[in-house]
Amino acid sequence: MYEGIVQDLIDELGRLPGIGPKSAQRIAFHIVQTESFDVSRLAEILTEVRDKVRFCEICGNVAEQSTCAICRDPRRDPAVICVVEEAKDVVAIERTREFRGRYHVLGGAISPIDGIGPEELRIRQLMERLADGVVQEVIIATDPNLEGEATATYLSRMLTTIGIRITRLASGLPVGGDLEYADEVTLGRAFEGRRVVS
Amino acid sequence: MYEGIVQDLIDELGRLPGIGPKSAQRIAFHIVQTESFDVSRLAEILTEVRDKVRFCEICGNVAEQSTCAICRDPRRDPAVICVVEEAKDVVAIERTREFRGRYHVLGGAISPIDGIGPEELRIRQLMERLADGVVQEVIIATDPNLEGEATATYLSRMLTTIGIRITRLASGLPVGGDLEYADEVTLGRAFEGRRVVS
């Protein structure tokens, strides 16, 4: 529909999640027409992001060094690990200021339909972190949906064998929702009201 | 909330129209985590887009040469000019395949609140295009909102002095829509513009 490069930009933007053809078009025209929009800065950041961003060797969170800022922080309680699906869930929980322990990012949830079994998640790495006996509690904070619940059930069964305290975020989180979209208060309450699973 | 570059990317994406903080975050994580997403291609296109994209010297449409593909196309009727607010309106009209004339992109609409008067629009260039007497009809296709209507009124007054045919796109019920949900103004327009069926 457009000449060359503008259509290329629309196509490329359309590959991003949550951006349909109309949005892609609107964004492309904004970039083309708005003099003040710093195209080169966005281009630079995009290039840099792939080079710089790594995943924490300990917890799997997004990091710019071999470990993330939370795992390096000596003030964070090493005795409590909060297990989440994605790195963005870490940010959501950090925003509540309710949690002072460490994290473990699974990299997703068990979902047979998508071909994601326990082996595809960072569960082995979690078990390794629990081996030295420092960790006293594992808080399972997977999403309150089908996949998240399945993952929580799987994890709690595995962890019971080790004999540490296992808790699950309280419901209070809207069922069927996405942890990422929970507001701070709801998420904070969910932490407060967490229950012993076994 | 995030370490360095990821937050930079979220900030930069958040400057795009229609992208709120949540969307920016989701897109940023998609870019960071999805191996198959071609970051360098998007970065390249962004850089290229500013270098390559210009605006047609004749009609103001987006172009990669000094004139756009439509103005260069000898099969397009030079006697009819359709006046639109933005380049994306050209694409919308082209999609209908109803119009075989040329275009004139104003670059916006008259909006005193935003400090946009007739001088800020490409109206002078439109008058110049009409000077040689080739153009027989000007179709005013500004948006059917306050600013678009004001612009249409202004244009039609200016053009009446030249003595060429001036038309305005019909307002009415959207095809496939529901009469029940039409607003009063639209429904009023639909009555005004009713046609004899037989």
pLDDT digits (tens, 9 = 90+) for B180-189: 777 777 777 7
Specify whether B89 is located in the same domain as B133. Answer: yes
Tell me: do B47 and B79 sit in the same domain.
Answer: no
Q: Looking at residue A128, which CATH number applies to its domain?
A: 3.40.1360.10
Count: domains in chain A: 2
Helix, coil or strand: residue A141: coil
**pLDDT at position A3, please?**
64
Chain A residues with CB-CB distance to B68 below 8 A:
3
Mutate to test the interface with A, among B9, B16, B23, B85 (most CBs of A within 10 A): B16
Domain containing A33 equals 4-52
* Among the partner residues B16, B46, B53, nearest to A30 by beta-carbon distance: B16
Judge if A122 and A160 occupy the same domain: yes
Same domain, B32 and B98: no
ipTM above 0.95, yes or no: no
A38 Cβ neighbours under 8 A, 6+ residues apart: B12
Nearest Cα neighbor of B37 from A41, A18, A12, A191 is A12
Give the residue-averaged pLDDT of A101-128.
94
Are the beta carbons of A1 and B95 closer than 8 angstroms?
A: yes
Nearest to B4 among A8, A28, A64 (CB): A64
Q: Is residue A142 situated within a structural domain?
A: yes
The answer as to whether B65 is a domain residue is no
Calpha distance A158→A162 (Å, rounded): 8
For B161, phi and psi rounded to 5 degrees? Answer: -65, -30
Residue B174 counted as domain residue? no
Residue A2 has pLDDT above 70, yes or no: no
Residues B46 and B92 in one domain: no
Asked, for residue A178, whether it belongs to a domain, the answer is no
- Mark the ranges of chain B whose per-residue pLDDT is less than 50: none
- The per-residue pLDDT for range A182-194, each reduced to its tens digit, is 777 777 777 777 7
Same domain, B41 and B125: no
Q: How close, in Å, is residue A9 to chain B by CA atoms?
A: 6
A26–B53 C-beta distance less than 8 A: no
Minimum Cα–Cα distance from A97: chain B residue: B1
Residue A164 lies in a domain: yes
CA A188 to chain centre: 17
The pLDDT tens digits for B67-106 are: 999 999 999 999 999 999 998 888 888 888 888 999 999 9
- Chain B residues in contact with A181 by the CB 8 A cut-off are 22
Average pLDDT over residues A41-65: 88
Q: Enter the DSSP assignment of A41.
A: H
CA B171 to chain centre: 17
Candidates A8, A16, A91, A178, partner chain B, best to mutate (most B CBs within 10 A): A16
Question: pTM of whole model > 0.90?
Answer: no
User: Per the domain annotation, does A144 fall within a domain?
Assistant: yes
Would B38 be classed as within a structural domain?
Answer: yes
Query: Pseudo-torsion of CA B12, A55, B32, A173, nearest 10°?
Result: -80
Residue A175 maps to a domain: no
